[in-house]
Structure 1
Amino acid sequence: MYYTSMSQGTRKPTAELGLLDATMIGMGAMIGAGIFVLTGLAAEISGPAALLVFVLNGIVTAFTGLSYAELAASIPKSGGGYAFVREIFDDRSSFLLGWMLWFAYMIAGALYALGFAPNFIELLHVYGFTPKPGAVGAIALPVISIDIPVQLGLAFVAVSLLVAVNAVSTAASGSAETFFTITKVLILLIFILFGYLSVGGGEPTSFTLQNFDPLFPDDSSALSILPAMGLTFIAFEGYDLITTVTEEVENPRENIPKAIFLSLAATVIIYALVVSVAIGTLGASGLAQAGEAGIAAAATSFMPTGLPIIKNGGAVIVFGAVFSTLTALNAVVIASSRVAFAMGREGQLIGSIGNLHHRFGTPFIAIIVSGAVMLFSVALPTASAGNMSSLFFLLSFIIVNFSVIKLRRERPDMTRPYTIPYYPAPPIIGIVLNVLLTGVLVWYLTQTDQLALLLSVGWIALGLLAYYGLNWLRSRSNPAPSSGGGGGGSTPDGPTSGSGSGSDPNSDPTPTSDPVDAAMTDSDSDPTLSRDTDTQDGPAHTGAQEEV
């Protein structure tokens, strides 16, 4: 099988996305599985105060959103946070950031798959095909005689199918993202509407403010919202995807920051209304008992029944949960593979990971490797997957905020189409708040989820081993010259060619050869380009082909 490396040419995307398109990209990524899967878990930790958890997380996220806006306008390169750090920090720091982001996206994929399974079973239950998710047992595999829980099997199938689809073809557009996001928002608005219409209905699940009294459970304090904030932080990951299309947005100086804050504001409002309805109708204890299917259980309890086609009004929300978890899973399959692809292209992973398939035009190997990790990760408890992904996103956002400060100091005269207002307060506040949440989350993991903490530390240790191991192999195959100028090759503590502190983000790096895998590619090529952009005369990306 053959894979094609990226060409040395560059492409300038056409600015065709407006403010609405950019905003929908952020909302579409954020309003995914988190609100459906984690609301019940947050209620279990903080009771009715779960409502505050989502509001405060939105405020924390806003400060890092400012940093993403400035960096995206200053460094218009593919790769998101990894691309920013790659230009500003040394080789090792950029590797660790990419390694953490890659892991965060993959574990998020496991979380979304684990959220899809119970909601899909709940949908079947609404139509009378299966018992409730908690009553569904296991299936026996005929060949190896092992019983696998149905929910785990469904999560495995969901990941496998989406990995296969993305490996063959990846196609998306701003208009499609807008349509799907509006559909999800409308479903949640229906949930909110029926929830508030149930006020004073006299039914056990009618909305009542009594479910919010007391706001904090008797056995906990106001500090209980902090670990819940750490767990649910991943529900606000996604606005950063807006910064990956900076060059494709009209008037990015104004529209990128506007899109970030419009998407955040709209998402926070929707989250707050959804959580308030779920607690106000089902109660915090009932929501906690429902776990990952909390929102679906709340919808089934108070929405009308006997409607044509959909049979049960709650089925609308259950369908929304299934749809959102699948779209969120698909998004992180793409995101995780693109981070791995960018790292492979930069020479920080095995070079073949940075290649495109000669026929499909997709980062085939990056998708398969990322998908394999997701498949193993679906065996994790849902809470552990949420905790680990939130932890690594928090760590990544801390580094992104530091990147703004470092870039301002080292390149004060750099052209900045957008600058953070009231600098340096926002990035400093972002660092402090993210560090606080990280510390609380780590403490919480030491008390309740040692598995997540152990796996997180293990992934970082594995990354350091991979980093120094690859550099050692390259140094043996391609010894550094005894004297002369800098340039090519990576060093453990310095930037590789074309990257690192002080480099011009608009300059073309000098290609290097990778003795580990001779597939190094140009760092300015767009990793999101796929076979769908090819012309009829052949692939848009040409270059050396290698047999893997």
Structure 2
Amino acid sequence: MTRTPQTHEAAPGGAGSISLTNAVAMGTGVMIGAGIFALTGQIAGLAGPLFPLSFVLGAVVTMFSAYSYIVMSNTWPSSGGIAMILTKAYGPGAVAAAASVLMALSMVINESLVARTFATYALRPFGIQDGPLVPAIGVALIVMAYLVNVSGNRAVGLWSLVMSAVKIGGIALFGIAALWASGIENWSPAARLSQNGITGFAASVALSILAFKGFTTITNSGGEITDPRRNVGRTILLSIAVCVVVYLLVALAVGSALTPVQIQQARDYALAEAAQPVLGQTGFYLTVALAMVATASGLIASVFAVSRMLTMLTEMKMIPHSHFGMPGGIRSHMLIYTVVIAGALTVLFDLGRIASLGAFFYLVMDMVVHWGVWKNLRHRIGARGWVILTALTLDAAVLAAFTLFKWRADPTIVIVALVTMLAALLAERLYLGGFVSDGGEGKHTGHR
């Protein structure tokens, strides 16, 4: 049976149901949930006293990277937008499918990262740092995110808007209060790197990029945003700008309250640890509450986006699908598959390894996007080639440094990432029965 190419620019049933404000809330919800509460300690441990600079460089790389997604989304707004970009660039074959799967995996990994962070902060008042309660609470949060998502787009948008307003305002107040209480003069960023050297600092930028990658949530929901050709780019830029301000404010606050060694020791709950000495026990509990709000809202937004992306890949016949006897449509099934995989990762991996896997998958996928857009589509969509090549070069440099550092520190996770990427490509080639690429409008042979 020959597979016919599927159209995928059409707006979904929820077209126009997400406003600009709600879309920004979703993007910042995903970024701030993981970037601040889950990654601050990890980044500080790699970068040392200069860790706030890592967030700045991560934002610079992300701004260059966002360009490819913005110009593509302006031309072809679509739910599951990254799959659309890859298919336009390479044709609906194994390259586009495998890279799309990597993106989906990085998003699901982010969900497990956020879920474990939620659990870690929730248990801090009880003095519990690990044990079976951490994955159990994380899985419970994932189930809650599923229940919110099955309520519909408007429920997700409203929830994201309210929660983002609460957490952005609360985190900003935390940063200001912590700086005021401890004094910015207490933060003395010695002009030196950590014991990990320049490689460790460059590796920290990979995690900082991961802290900003929530902007892809917006791309994946592009077809459901009001006036997408105008608002997708605006939403991405606004979300990144908001997060840069929040990240820097919090990084300075944490750096003024704790030494890099203390941040590294409390890497899974660094903000709560920083709040206690300068804001007292009340500040500690408020920070814990903020972390739970931030991670919960981020998880809900991420589940929404990745389920849409997987739905699109299924409808384009780029990944296999089975109902397993469940009622409902593909989108409802993808919600279930998303939360099941995220739950499994929450149980199996700790925060450090979850973050590393996410960084590997995202950076590789990002480079595939940039290369495809530059090689096959830049003239057609009127994109600036030098911007795309700059993004590609920055990604490659960060990925090389991160791989080298992880190979020295934890070679197992490098092997797991490499094997998973090769397995995704091989599985897609076998499933699709081969592929060709002819300048972005490729056709593929049907599989039988």
Shorter chain as normaliser: what TM range? 0.7 to 0.9
Contact persistence 1:80–1:244 (CA under 8 A): yes
Give matches, 1:77-88, under 5 Å: 77-88=78-89
Q: Is 1:331 paired with 2:288? A: no
Q: Report what 1:92 is aligned to.
A: 94
Q: Report what 1:293 is aligned to.
A: 269
What is the rounded CA distance, in whole Å, between the counterparts of 2:333 and 2:16 in structure 1?
Answer: 30
Q: Report what 2:134 is aligned to.
A: 151
Q: Report deviation, 1:76.
A: 2.1
Q: Report what 1:352 is aligned to.
A: 322
What is the rounded CA distance, in whole Å, between the counterparts of 1:256 and 1:169 in structure 2?
Answer: 20
Q: Report what 1:189 is aligned to.
A: 172
Q: Is 1:494 paired with 2:436? A: yes
Q: Report deviation, 1:78.
A: 2.2
Q: Report what 1:102 is aligned to.
A: 104
What is the rounded CA distance, in whole Å, between the counterparts of 1:448 and 1:54 in structure 2?
Answer: 22
What is the rounded CA distance, in whole Å, between the counterparts of 1:159 and 1:174 in structure 2?
Answer: 17
What is the rounded CA distance, in whole Å, between the counterparts of 1:17 and 1:234 in structure 2?
Answer: 24
Q: Report what 1:63 is aligned to.
A: 64
What is the rounded CA distance, in whole Å, between the counterparts of 1:82 and 1:447 in structure 2?
Answer: 33
What is the rounded CA distance, in whole Å, between the counterparts of 1:121 and 1:80 in structure 2?
Answer: 37
Q: Tell me: CA distance 1:348–1:20, structure 2 relative to 1, closer, same or farther (3 Å).
A: closer
* TM-score, L = length of structure 1: 0.72
What is the rounded CA distance, in whole Å, between the counterparts of 1:10 and 1:30 in structure 2?
Answer: 25
How many residues end up aligned between the 2 structures?
440
Q: Which of 117, 128, 133 is the matching residue for 2:128? A: 133
Q: Tell me: CA distance 1:181–1:196, structure 2 relative to 1, closer, same or farther (3 Å).
A: same
Q: Which of 276, 279, 288 is the matching residue for 1:318? A: 288
Q: Tell me: CA distance 1:231–1:244, structure 2 relative to 1, closer, same or farther (3 Å).
A: closer
Q: Report what 2:3 is aligned to.
A: none
Q: Which of 306, 331, 334 is the matching residue for 1:366? A: 334
Q: Which of 421, 434, 443 is the matching residue for 1:460? A: 421
**Structure number having the greater strand percentage:** 1
| CA deviation string 1:397-452 (max 9, x = no partner) | 1122223223435xx4x5x5xx55xx112111000001111111111221112222
SS at match of 2:435: coil
**Structure number having the greater helix percentage:** 2
Which of the two has higher C-alpha Rg? 1
Q: Report what 2:145 is aligned to.
A: 162
Q: Report deviation, 1:243.
A: 2.9
Q: Report deviation, 1:456.
A: 1.1
Task: List alignment gaps of at least 5 residues for structure 1.
Answer: 1-5, 139-148, 199-205, 306-311, 472-490, 504-508, 516-548
Q: Tell me: CA distance 1:363–1:514, structure 2 relative to 1, closer, same or farther (3 Å).
A: farther
Q: Report deviation, 1:347.
A: 1.5
Q: Report what 2:369 is aligned to.
A: 400
Contact persistence 1:26–1:242 (CA under 8 A): yes
SS at match of 1:313: helix
Matched AA of 2:345: S
Contact persistence 1:52–1:225 (CA under 8 A): no
Q: Report what 1:238 is aligned to.
A: 214
Q: Is 1:441 paired with 2:402? A: yes
Range with bigger deviation, 52-61 or 397-406 = 397-406
| CA deviation string 1:240-292 (max 9, x = no partner) | 23234445555555543333222212211110110110011122222111111
Matched AA of 2:174: F
Give matches, 1:259-278, under 5 Å: 259-278=235-254
Contact persistence 1:169–1:362 (CA under 8 A): no
Contact persistence 1:345–1:351 (CA under 8 A): no
Q: Which of 431, 438, 451 is the matching residue for 2:412? A: 451
What is the rounded CA distance, in whole Å, between the counterparts of 2:143 and 2:221 in structure 1?
Answer: 28
What is the rounded CA distance, in whole Å, between the counterparts of 1:444 and 1:13 in structure 2?
Answer: 44
Q: Is 1:26 paired with 2:27? A: yes
Q: Is 1:470 paired with 2:440? A: no
Q: Report what 1:488 is aligned to.
A: none
| CA deviation string 1:27-69 (max 9, x = no partner) | 2221112211111121122222110111110000001111111
Matched AA of 1:433: L
Task: List alignment gaps of at least 5 residues for structure 2.
Answer: 1-5
Range with bigger deviation, 426-435 or 209-218 = 209-218
Q: Report deviation, 1:150.
A: 2.3
What is the rounded CA distance, in whole Å, between the counterparts of 1:94 and 1:169 in structure 2?
Answer: 29
RMSD, aligned CA: 3.2
Contact persistence 2:35–2:211 (CA under 8 A): yes
Matched AA of 1:456: A
Contact persistence 1:101–1:339 (CA under 8 A): no
What is the rounded CA distance, in whole Å, between the counterparts of 1:84 and 1:343 in structure 2?
Answer: 12
Matched AA of 1:429: T
What is the rounded CA distance, in whole Å, between the counterparts of 1:376 and 1:245 in structure 2?
Answer: 25
What is the rounded CA distance, in whole Å, between the counterparts of 1:80 and 1:7 in structure 2?
Answer: 13
Contact persistence 1:168–1:362 (CA under 8 A): no
Q: Report deviation, 1:119.
A: 0.3
What is the rounded CA distance, in whole Å, between the counterparts of 1:345 and 1:500 in structure 2?
Answer: 23
Q: Report what 1:389 is aligned to.
A: 358
Q: Which of 296, 301, 310 is the matching residue for 1:340? A: 310
What is the rounded CA distance, in whole Å, between the counterparts of 2:83 and 2:188 in structure 1?
Answer: 41
Matched AA of 1:290: A
* TM-score, L = length of structure 2: 0.87
Q: Report deviation, 1:344.
A: 1.9
Q: Tell me: CA distance 1:375–1:171, structure 2 relative to 1, closer, same or farther (3 Å).
A: same
Q: Tell me: CA distance 1:254–1:386, structure 2 relative to 1, closer, same or farther (3 Å).
A: same
SS at match of 1:133: coil
Matched AA of 2:254: A
Give matches, 1:526-537, under 5 Å: none
Q: Report deviation, 1:110.
A: 1.6
What is the rounded CA distance, in whole Å, between the counterparts of 1:324 and 1:439 in structure 2?
Answer: 31
Q: Which of 178, 187, 199 is the matching residue for 2:161? A: 178
> Percentage identity across aligned positions?
21
Matched AA of 2:390: I
Q: Is 1:214 paired with 2:183? A: no
What is the rounded CA distance, in whole Å, between the counterparts of 2:391 and 2:119 in structure 1?
Answer: 35
Q: Is 1:429 paired with 2:422? A: no
